[in-house]
A and B are shown apart, each in its own frame.
Chain A
Amino acid sequence: AQSVTQLDSQVPVFEEAPVELRCNYSSSVSVYLFWYVQYPNQGLQLLLKYLSGSTLVKGINGFEAEFNKSQTSFHLRKPSVHISDTAEYFCAVSEGLTGGGNKLTFGTGTQLKVEL
């Protein structure tokens, strides 16, 4: 069974500072990894995904994440945050099974709060 751990429930950071949101996963098979963002009272928006290939993936809004297979991690980073980045961020994993329809398993989320 797959699982995702987001150790930081809240991360406060000042505007224009760098940020890293941590995500670790476990699975017995190959996985696909995702970061979703949820703004207040809104649905889930895909930030970025790792399917295969380069371990450094770039997403929307200046975010990037690095897949580290040996450490089973997929940490999200942004070099300079903006006040509008304040949101809940969810890491998710999907097992790489053929045929599609792969359920997503989410972490508990990290609340990023950007302060002036």
Chain B
Amino acid sequence: EPEVTQTPSHQVTQMGQEVILRCVPISNHLYFYWYRQILGQKVEFLVSFYNNEISEKSEIFDDQFSVERPDGSNFTLKIRSTKLEDSAMYFCASSQVVAAWSSYNEQFFGPGTRLTVL
């Protein structure tokens, strides 16, 4: 069964460093998402991406964050200068565009990357 994969599973970085979290969405999916979960808190939406551009972003997704689909398979989240409060589990998800008229596309989640900022 196809699945979303994420690398690395755990990333430790120093405050102020840049990190890139990588995701490989399911191959025929066209919508991609990043969510994060700070330890003990709820899962929060960061950004959605479609047709090579951001379709929606949350207040959390400020100028320190960027997303990219550098090739036909990867989807990345970059944090330019990490802060202590960026420590969280980051989940990538993807969904298939079933039809233009469809308003529902199930999101499939990856296992997450735990980011620890020291």
Nearest chain A residue, comparing its CB with the CB of B105: A100
Question: Majority SS of interface residues in chain B?
Answer: loop
User: Looking at the complex, which one of A97, A99, A107 makes contact with B100 (CB distance below 8 Å)?
Assistant: A99
Which of B31, B43, B97 neighbours the largest number of chain A CB atoms within 10 Å of its CB? B43
- Residue interface bits B9-41, CB-to-A below 8 A is 1, else 0: 000000000000000000000010101000001
Number of interface residues of B (CB under 8 A): 29
A51–B104 touching, CB < 8 Å: yes
- Residue interface bits B92-104, CB-to-A below 8 A is 1, else 0: 0001011011111
B31–A100 touching, CB < 8 Å: yes
Interface residue? A102 (CB, 8 A) = yes
A103–B48 touching, CB < 8 Å: yes
B104–A96 touching, CB < 8 Å: yes
Interface residue? A105 (CB, 8 A) = yes
Q: How far is the CA of A46 from the CA of B98 in the complex (A)?
A: 18
User: Looking at the complex, which one of B41, B44, B104, B110 makes contact with A102 (CB distance below 8 Å)?
Assistant: B104
Whether A44 contacts B31 in the complex (CB less than 8 A), given A96-B103, A101-B56, A101-B105, comes out as no
Nearest chain A residue, comparing its CB with the CB of B55: A101
A106–B43 touching, CB < 8 Å: yes
B42–A102 touching, CB < 8 Å: no
Query: Measured between C-beta atoms, what is the minimum distance from A63 to chain B in Å?
Result: 17
Query: Measured between C-beta atoms, what is the minimum distance from A2 to chain B in Å?
Result: 11
Number of interface residues of A (CB under 8 A): 26
Q: Which residues of A contact B100 (CB under 8 A)?
A: 98-99
Whether A109 contacts B42 in the complex (CB less than 8 A), given A99-B100, A100-B95, A101-B55, comes out as yes
A32–B104 touching, CB < 8 Å: yes
A43–B31 touching, CB < 8 Å: no
Q: Interface on B for A, CB 8 Å cutoff?
A: 31, 33, 35, 41-45, 48, 50, 55-56, 58, 91, 95, 97-98, 100-107, 109-112
Given contacts A101-B55, A103-B56, 4 further A-B contacts (CB under 8 A): A100-B95, A101-B31, A101-B105, A109-B42
Please, could you name 17 A-B residue pairs with CB atoms under 8 Å apart, sorted by A?
A: A32-B104, A44-B109, A46-B106, A51-B104, A90-B43, A94-B104, A96-B103, A98-B101, A99-B100, A100-B103, A101-B31, A101-B97, A103-B33, A105-B45, A106-B43, A106-B44, A109-B42
